[in-house]
Amino acid sequence: MLGRRRAWWALWVAGPLMLMGVAAVGQGADELASTIEQSLDGIEFRIELRPEQAAQDLVEQQRRVDLLEQQAPDHPALPVIREKMAALQSDLAASLAAAAEDAATGESAGTIPSAPEGLDTGLREVDTLQSQAETELLSGRPAEAADFLKQAEEQMAELETRFAGEIPQGHVPLIVAKERLATLKDQVEDSTPAQ
């Protein structure tokens, strides 16, 4: 009886570890690819408005692409992701050059209404919480990811309340943050085992 319990316990402990390796190549790689693609879409919006932030985000996504290449070098999404990364890097370089030229000549875009300083800072905090949630999700910890997402959602609601009336209509960083939050919540829900 004791030997059988030990065998079941060993399966209970080792089974999930073995499955994690399979999931990293299978569903984990698919989730990682999906996350990268969604993040790249968000970066595309930020390139014109916040090129410096977009540059940092691209560096983070490159780390994820490297991880995906290690986990699943033949993943069908990799060619599209690489192509999108190259296009975004090119767009970013052009945007940074234009921003530098505008700064040198003293011109500014002026056509895009600016958001209050505190809003952008708060949205960067939301972005950090969402990135932490992604990390937890990719590590197979949906409960911890849900905690980070709850904090991100509360932070976003507080920002919208505090800056009501001051947020420019169609403020892209806020829209991107909301879409990312909704996507991550769906991913957490899909990853949470049924009770």
Q: Do residue 161 and residue 193 come from a single domain?
A: yes
Residue 14 inside a domain? The answer is no
Q: How many domains does the chain have?
A: 2
Query: Domain range holding 176?
Result: 113-195
Q: Do residue 151 and residue 76 come from a single domain?
A: no
pLDDT in tens, 46-77: 787 777 788 888 888 888 888 888 888 899 99
Query: Long-range contacts of range 152-158, CB-CB < 8 Å, 24 or more positions apart?
Result: 152/126, 152/177, 152/181, 153/181, 155/122, 155/125, 155/126, 155/129, 156/122, 156/123, 156/126, 156/181, 158/122
Q: Do residue 89 and residue 117 come from a single domain?
A: no
Q: Do residue 126 and residue 193 come from a single domain?
A: yes
C-alpha 96 chain-centroid distance: 22
Residue 2 inside a domain? The answer is no
pLDDT of residue 9: 45
pLDDT in tens, 126-148: 989 988 988 888 888 889 999 99
Q: Do residue 146 and residue 194 come from a single domain?
A: yes
pLDDT of residue 59: 82
Choosing from 93, 112, 131, the residue where a domain stops is 112
Q: Do residue 76 and residue 99 come from a single domain?
A: yes
Q: Do residue 132 and residue 179 come from a single domain?
A: yes
Residue 175 inside a domain? The answer is yes
Q: Do residue 67 and residue 134 come from a single domain?
A: no
C-alpha 105 chain-centroid distance: 35
What Å distances lie between residue 188 and 72, 104, 174, CA to CA? 22, 46, 21
| Rg from Cα positions in the chain | 20
Q: Do residue 136 and residue 97 come from a single domain?
A: no
Query: Long-range contacts of range 157-163, CB-CB < 8 Å, 24 or more positions apart?
Result: 158/122, 159/118, 159/119, 159/122, 159/123, 159/126, 162/118, 162/122, 163/115, 163/116, 163/118, 163/119
Choosing from 112, 141, 165, the residue where a domain stops is 112
Question: From first to last of its 195 residues, what are the pLDDT tens digits of the chain?
Answer: 545 554 444 444 444 444 444 444 456 888 888 888 888 888 887 787 777 788 888 888 888 888 888 888 899 999 998 898 888 888 888 877 777 776 667 654 445 567 777 888 888 899 899 889 888 888 888 899 999 999 999 999 998 899 888 887 777 778 888 888 888 888 888 877 765
Q: Do residue 137 and residue 105 come from a single domain?
A: no
Residue 7 inside a domain? The answer is no
Q: Do residue 103 and residue 139 come from a single domain?
A: no
Q: Do residue 137 and residue 80 come from a single domain?
A: no
pTM metric for this prediction: 0.48
Residue 71 inside a domain? The answer is yes
pLDDT of residue 109: 47
Choosing from 112, 139, 167, the residue where a domain stops is 112
